[in-house]
Amino acid sequence: MNVNLPAHRHDPRKNLLVLPSADPQAVFWDREPVVCGFRRLTHRPAGQSRAIEVPISSSPVVVSGAGVVLGASDGTVTFYDRTLGKEYWSQRLDSPIYASLVADARRRRVIVIATSGLAACFDLRGRPLWSARVEDPVYATPLVLPNADRLVVAAFNSRCTGLNLETGARVFDHRLPEPWHAAHGGSAAHRDAYASPVATGEGNAVIACAEHVLCLTPDGEELWRTEVGHSIKASPVGLHDRHEILVAPVDGTCLFLDSRTGQVLAAIGLDAKVTGSPAASGGLVAVGTTDGTVTALDARSHGIVWRSAQGAPREYTSVTTLPSGDFVATAGNGNIVCLAREDGKFLWETSQVLGLPDHRPAMDITPVAGVDGSMYGASYSGTAYHFRFRPRDKESFG
């Protein structure tokens, strides 16, 4: 069992490259961060005087102490400095970027997948190292399995592909179950799998698709398949020390499954729809529902620990965690909200009101925080934000 594998969709281990000098203890994570930099992404078509906004739909990779690698809907991948004021390099893919960027932490690389299915790997100097093609559109965040050197990609049209993490070579293709309505002309049946794969403690990959949950080895062998009766839009959560997986279908029932067999061990109803992905921290799993509520479940007892009336993630985004272990999400109002892990107490909520003309402050993506005290969010209206948390010793931050 490897407890260092990413446990949920926006687990910081997927979106963070840590410099050895970064010290998470040097930051007040329980105090409201403030905007200390922003950038508007625009494009001016040839022959037109007015620039158009470039939406940002994917969460970035944060390089703590150095900056952030951001993907945009015009296909650009750009490494900015910490404040978003300076551009180190930029590359462009062949289509919009919707799936969140992920890090190959061992090699200090960033992997980006465009909606066309083009996957590309870059080093921190912006040099392309490999590219690969997945035949179907990709919107789900891919999964890195570092021990097996695999990148697991869930794509539309019910397909899962495994790539070699070092070279991009294709390792497997696996057909996934189609939604039940695919056989009846369901107009959105092709938009599946939407949920992102997650790792088990055994180093396998769990894919939630249609009304099913599947477990694949790093070489694409299917170990088990469980039908849950309802469609799944939220990504699962790996409870690695328990050999369990939590899955939350749209009916609001949280299912605890044995990660080795797929057997359902427990079920807890939340009485509201789930489309945002949950996150795990310190033995708790925080699940947001579309009524705005966040519920924390105990991974050991499978019982409810606390509930909060605020802080649920916007549809199809995720709860994630700070270096402190507290839960954060971009809430329905477009601000990032932080809840204390232990009891769900409200800690802070961001503000992006900057007094700028034609500025819409609401954000849309799942935030990513670096251990150096920087956090990044962005919006479909094309604005990226750099937030800073208050340092305990401001001299240590320069």
pLDDT tens-digit profile of 123-149? 999 999 999 999 999 999 999 999 999
Given a contact cutoff of 8 angstroms between Cβ atoms, the answer to whether 288 and 337 are in contact is no
Question: In which band, very low, low, confident or very high, does the pLDDT at 21 lie, cut at 50, 70 and 90?
Answer: low
Q: Tens digits of per-residue pLDDT, 87-100?
A: 999 999 999 999 99
83-87, 238-242, 356-360, range with the lowest pLDDT: 356-360
- Given a cut of 60, whether residue 1 has pLDDT beyond it is no
The sign of the CA dihedral 266, 269, 275, 281 is negative
Element (H, E) at 15: helix 12-15
Contact 194, 214 (CB under 8 A): no
Burial of residue 292 (CB within 10 Å: 0-12, 13-18, 19+) is middle
Over residues 223-253, the pLDDT tens digits come to: 999 999 999 999 999 999 999 999 999 999 9
Across all residues in the chain, what is the average pLDDT? 94
Tell me which residue of 326, 386, 302, 328 sits closest to 352, measured CA to CA: 386
Concatenating the DSSP letter of every residue in 241-286 gives GGTEEEE--TTSEEEEEETTT--EEEEEE-SS---SBPEEETTEEE
Strands 16-17 and 61-63: parallel
pLDDT of residue 398 exceeding 60, the answer is no
* Residue 359 confidence (pLDDT): 87
Beta bridge partner(s), residue 361: none
Bigger pLDDT: 18 vs 268? 268
User: What SS3 state is found at 397?
Assistant: helix
Q: Find the length of the chain.
A: 398
| Count of C-beta atoms within a 10 Å radius of residue 151 | 25
Residue pair 76/89 in contact by the 8 Å Cβ criterion: no
Q: Order the strands of the 304-308 sheet from edge to edge.
A: 279-281, 284-288, 294-298, 304-308
Tell me what pLDDT residue 45 has: 73
**C-alpha–C-alpha distance, residues 22 and 372, integer Å:** 5
**For residue 2, what pLDDT is reported?**
60
pTM of the model: 0.95
What Rg, from alpha-carbon coordinates, does the chain have?
20
Mean pLDDT of 323-328: 96
* The pair of three-digit structure tokens given for residue 99, joined into one six-digit string: 């799936």
Count the alpha carbons within 13 Å of 187 in the hemisphere toward its beta carbon. 0
Tell me which DSSP letter residue 240 carries: G
Average pLDDT over residues 264-285: 97
90 contacts 126 by C-beta, under 8 angstroms:
yes
Query: In Å, how far from its chain's centre is CA 4?
Result: 17
User: What does residue 318 show for φ and ψ, rounded to 5 degrees?
Assistant: -140, 150
**Do 97 and 9 contact (CB within 8 A), yes or no?**
no
Strand partners, 339: 327, 346
Q: What percent of the chain has pLDDT over 70?
A: 97
Identify which of 203, 335, 191 has the alpha carbon closest to the alpha carbon of residue 259: 203
Provide the edge-to-edge strand list for the sheet that holds 264-269.
237-239, 244-247, 253-258, 264-269
Residue, of 187 and 356, whose pLDDT is higher: 187
- Are the C-beta atoms of 240 and 2 separated by less than 8 Å? yes
87 token code pair: 């551009």
Q: What percent of the chain has pLDDT over 90?
A: 89
Express each pLDDT in 40-73 by its tens digit.
998 877 777 788 899 999 999 999 889 999 999 9
For 374-385, give the DSSP string. EEEEE-TTSEEE
Q: Element (H or E) spanning 338, and its range? A: strand 336-339
Per-residue confidence at 392, pLDDT binned at 50, 70, 90?
A: confident
Q: Distance between CA 98 and CA 100 in Å, rounded? A: 6
